[in-house]
Amino acid sequence: MSIHPSAIVSPGAVVPASCTVGPFSTIGPEVVLGESCMLISHVVLDGRTRIGARNVFHPFCAVGVAPQDLKYGGEPTQTEIGNSNTIREYVTISRGTVGGGGLTRLGSGNLLMASVHIGHDSLVGSHCILANAATLAGHVVIEDYATVGAFSPVHQHCIVGQYAFIGGGTIVTQDVLPFSLTSSRRENKAFGINKIGLARRGFSPERLQILQKAFRLLLAAKMNTTQALEKIKQLDGDDVALLASFLARSERGVIK
C-alpha cells in the first residue's frame, strides 16, 4: 500500500492495498475506498462515505464533508461515489441531510472540473461533465450524460435531464429539458436539441430527426406546454417518451 508518511488515515477507514494516498491527505474513520483509487495530495475524505474503484482525487478536493445547511446537527448521513470518476482541484461534495433524504450520490465516469460544488442531497448520474465552478445548490438531480457549463449555478430542487447541455454562465432556476441545448444570453432559453453532443453519443440521424420534431412542437409551435405534451406523446420512440415523462413530472417548470 502506498501511503505517504504525512497522510492521516483514521482507524476504521477501509483503504485497499491498490490505492495511493498522497501527501497531506486525510481519510476519516467511516470512509470506505474501492480498488485502485488515487489521492494525489491534500485530499480530504470525511463522513460516512462509500467510494468505488479507480477514482482520482486531485489536490485540495473535499468529499463527504458536512453540508452547508444550518439545520444540520451532525446526523450520520452519507455520500456515495461510483467508479472511474475524475475529481479535480478544489471540488467540494457535501454529504446529505436528514430532511433531504440523507444521501449525496455521484455515479460513475464523471468529470468534475476545478472548483465544482455538489451540495447536500444532490444526485448526479453517470458520464456527466460539470465544468469549472459549476454549482449545485443542494437537492439537485443531474441525469446521465448531462453537461453543466462553467460558472453555472443550479437552484435547489432543479432537475437537469439526460444528455442536456447547459452553456457557461447560465443561472438555472427551472428544470432543464433532456437532450436540449440551454444557455443564457439576455435570458435563459432552450435553443433546440444538443445536436452535436447527441451525435457524438451515437444518436442516429433518425433519432435526431424525431427529437427535433418534438422540440419544434415544444419550443416553436404556438402551444403551451400542456398542449405540446399531448402532441409529443403521439410521436414514436423511446427518446420522445423520455422527454414526455420529464415534462409530466417537472414540478418547477422547464426552461423553454
Catalytic annotation, pick one of 42, 58, 117, 120:
120
User: Per-residue pLDDT tens for 218-238?
Assistant: 988 888 888 999 999 999 999
Mean pLDDT value across residues 58-77: 96
Per-residue pLDDT band for 189 (boundaries 50, 70, 90) equals confident
- Residue 102 CA neighbour count, 13 Å, CB half: 6
Please indicate whether residue 120 is annotated as part of the active site: yes
In this predicted structure, the answer to whether residue 17 has a pLDDT above a threshold of 70 is yes
Position 187 scores a pLDDT of 67
In this predicted structure, the answer to whether residue 188 has a pLDDT above a threshold of 80 is no
CATH superfamily of 2-142: Hexapeptide repeat proteins (2.160.10.10)
Please indicate whether residue 121 is annotated as part of the active site: yes
Cα-flanking dihedrals φ and ψ of residue 205, to 5°?
A: -55, -35
**What are the boundaries of each domain within the chain?**
2-142, 198-249
Catalytic annotation, pick one of 28, 82, 121, 125:
121
Please indicate whether residue 4 is annotated as part of the active site: no
Catalytic annotation, pick one of 22, 119, 138, 161:
138
Do the domains 198-249 and 2-142 match in fold? no
Class of domain 198-249: mainly alpha
Structure pTM? 0.90
β-partners of residue 190 are 182
CA dist., res. 229 & res. 203, Å (int): 22
Q: Could you tell me whether strands 180-184 and 188-193 are parallel, antiparallel, or unpaired per DSSP bridges? A: antiparallel
Mean pLDDT value across residues 207-226: 91
